Amino acid sequence: MQISGAQMVIEALAAEEVEVVFGYPGGAIMNVYDEIYKQSAFQHILTRHEQAAVHAAEGYAKTSGKVGVAMITSGPGFTNAITGIADAYMDSIPLVVISGQVPMSLIGTDAFQEVDAVGISRPCTKHNYLVTHARDLPRILKEAFYLARTGRPGPVHVDIPKDVTAQIATFDYSKEVELETYKPTVKGNMRQIKKAVEAIAHAKRPLLYLGGGVVSSGASDLVRQFSTMTQIPAVETFMARGTLHHSDPLLISMLGMHGSYAANMAMSETDLVIALGARFDDRVTGKLSEFAKNAQIIHVDIDPASVSKLVTAHFPIVGDVKNVLEAMIPLAAQQVDPLRHQPWLNTIANFNKLHPLSYKEEGDRLKPQWVVQRIGELLGDDANISTDVGQHQMWTAQFYPFSRPRQWSSSGGLGTMGYGFPAAIGSKRADMDRVSINITGDGSILMNIQELMTAVEYKLPVINIILNNNFLGMVRQWQTMFYDKRHSETDLSIQPDFVKLAESFGGIGYRVTTKEEFDAALKDAVEKNVVAIIDVVVARFENVLPMVPAGGSLFNMMLEYKEK
């Protein structure tokens, strides 16, 4: 059919079965927004900032497993969104971000609200497009969704000049995507898989190293099956929390800079690392030359560029984790003796007894770790958890009892303050039946506080729990430990009244200082099912421990910090 470029965008989103778009209109994208006004195929949620639109799309994608969609205008609209795009790129989140651009005749003239969006987004997208004619839009939009969701997922950017959205051309969305230079390898090489299983059968101290790729591929059930069948213990990265149930006896914990003693020691003592969908991030490995130095490495990842990029794999397997595990499990069932690993499991149990994840109850103020644990006790599997970035993020990763994949949404690779609240809005939109909790800090929450209006308007009752220590907590911690307590520009003693702030947007606010008050506030917020802020006064100088100092070895953890 012959329709305008703007109409093509709507038709493509409908064909992709998009149910929600997060966005913010402006001049260059106005033709598309005019068509949004006329359509009923999907909901549009107007965020109050473009960065928040992309983070909300990320939260939606993480919780639903679908491609998130954000729509923005040119110039500052796009530059505001770039942080969210970069965040999605670092964490391999499937997004399609559609931006307006000035008309073709004005590109390169420094026109009003013109920026080189394609040039800016090139380093932080899986792929990007500048559409030069409406006839190309059906192909490009279909490719964009295909690229975003296949292979290693990621954000794809489509930049559309305003005159292109007005052009009339033929819309045909029936053609299959065929890209000569993009053919992801989804099935692992069987020879390599067989060699890997042989190595597992001979290993005395094997360890599953689970990354976010396990969640992306939908392989969590297979990982649980494989681990139980072989009795191989597992550590999870920050991005993989919830892959194994928190009560699984084979789950050690999270590893890395703020991982548990047992998890980091297990990685240091293992003789075989089975890395599934993980990229050996510096926050996980610490000092590379000391990382699992006595171990052989099996590395399974769909991204060939990630395999052996940082740690050389003895058994490199390029493929989708789910497909590779489906091939490994029957072989492992025949070759791997689960009883062989009991001495190794006993060693790990001793690590856990020696230095369990813990904290001390002391002083008048609530401990932030208690708050996180208590949320888990009260809500558990009934909640989807988002966080911002800082100490509260690490305490959540350490202490929340995650029970399933896609329960957890946080900014891993980029570490974006302001991520949590809009992501929790997207998460709630993806899963309306569960409570959406954003665990945040008094620094992070102000980065995108305007989204209180979005949540209230669209009746997306996110509960923001602020662990309020009146500090930029993680930076303060580093300043305390490594900068001789020179707390430069991290004191946040002057803060708004968060209760009144929530109420001014049409939500509800609570300020709590005791355990009883916290329980009552959380139960009330859940029962009322409205947008809420629970401002929790917590211990100001609490530190996130254990901690591997930057560039240090995993086995050289700071287990406690003593004031000098």
* Structural domain range at position 114: 2-170
Tens-digit pLDDT profile for residues 2-23: 999 999 999 999 999 999 999 9
Same domain, 374 and 496: yes
Same domain, 335 and 381: no
Give the CA angle between residues 172, 176, 177 to the nearest 5°.
Answer: 110
List, as one string, the DSSP characters of 406-475: TSEE---SS--TT-HHHHHHHHHHH-TTSEEEEEEETTGGGGSTTHHHHHHHTT--EEEEEEE-SB-HHH
**Structural domain includes residue 442:** yes
Q: Has residue 444 been placed in a domain? A: yes
Q: Residues 112, 229, 528, 560: which is the catalytic one?
A: 112
**pTM for the whole thing?**
0.97
What is the pLDDT at residue 147? 98
User: Considering the domain boundaries, does residue 545 fall inside one?
Assistant: no
CB of 179 closer than 8 Å to CB of 311 = no
Residues 204 and 108 in one domain: no
Predicted confidence at residue 236, as pLDDT, reads 98
Looking at the structure, tell me whether residues 347 and 375 fall in a common domain: no
Question: How many Å apart are CA 96 and CA 147, to the nearest integer?
Answer: 9
Q: Say if residue 318 is in the same domain as residue 420.
A: no
Of 11, 16, 35, 50, catalytic: 50
Task: Classify residue 257: in a domain, yes or no.
Answer: yes
Q: Per the residue annotation, which of 30, 42, 104, 113 is the catalytic one?
A: 113
Are residues 140 and 233 located together in one domain of the fold?
no
Closest CA to 377 of 410, 405, 355, 403: 403
* Residue where a domain stops, chosen among 322, 354, 386: 354
Q: Do 225 and 346 fall into the same domain?
A: yes
Give me the pLDDT at residue 362, please.
87
In a domain, 472, yes or no: yes
Residue 85 lies in a domain: yes
Give the whole-angstrom CA distance, residue 216 versus residue 120: 26
pLDDT at 163: 98
Query: Which CATH number goes with the domain that contains 263?
Result: 3.40.50.1220
Of 325, 354, 383, the residue at which a domain comes to its end is: 354
- Return the closest-CA partner of residue 412 out of 121, 90, 58, 56: 90
Where the chain has pLDDT below 50, the residues are: none
Length of the chain: 564
Query: Same structural domain for residues 166 and 194?
Result: no
Q: Is residue 24 part of a domain?
A: yes
- From the candidates 66, 162, 367, 428, give the one annotated as an active-site residue: 162
CA distances, 178 to each of 66, 151, 351, 479 (Å) = 21, 14, 51, 52
In a domain, 182, yes or no: no
Q: How many CA atoms lie within 13 A of 409 on its CB side?
A: 36
298 & 387 share domain: no
CATH code at position 147: 3.40.50.970
Instruction: Quote the pLDDT of residue 162.
Output: 98
Q: How many CB atoms lie within 10 A of CB 92?
A: 25
Residue 564, pLDDT score: 64
DSSP 547: B
Q: Please indicate, yes or no, whether residues 349 and 373 belong to a single structural domain of this protein.
A: no
Domains identified in the chain, total number: 3
Q: Judging by beta carbons within 10 Å of its beta carbon (0-12, 13-18, 19+), is residue 329 exposed, middle or buried?
A: middle
Q: What is the mean pLDDT of the chain?
A: 97
The arrangement of strands across the sheet holding 68-72 comes to 43-46, 20-23, 68-72, 95-101, 155-161, 127-130
**327 and 411: one domain?**
no
Query: What's the pLDDT at 295?
Result: 97
Quick check: is 113 catalytic? yes
Amino acid 402: pLDDT:
98
Of 239, 254, 257, 474, the catalytic one is 474
Instruction: Say if residue 154 is in the same domain as residue 259.
Output: no
394: annotated active-site residue? no
Q: Cα separation of 376 and 460, whole Å?
A: 21
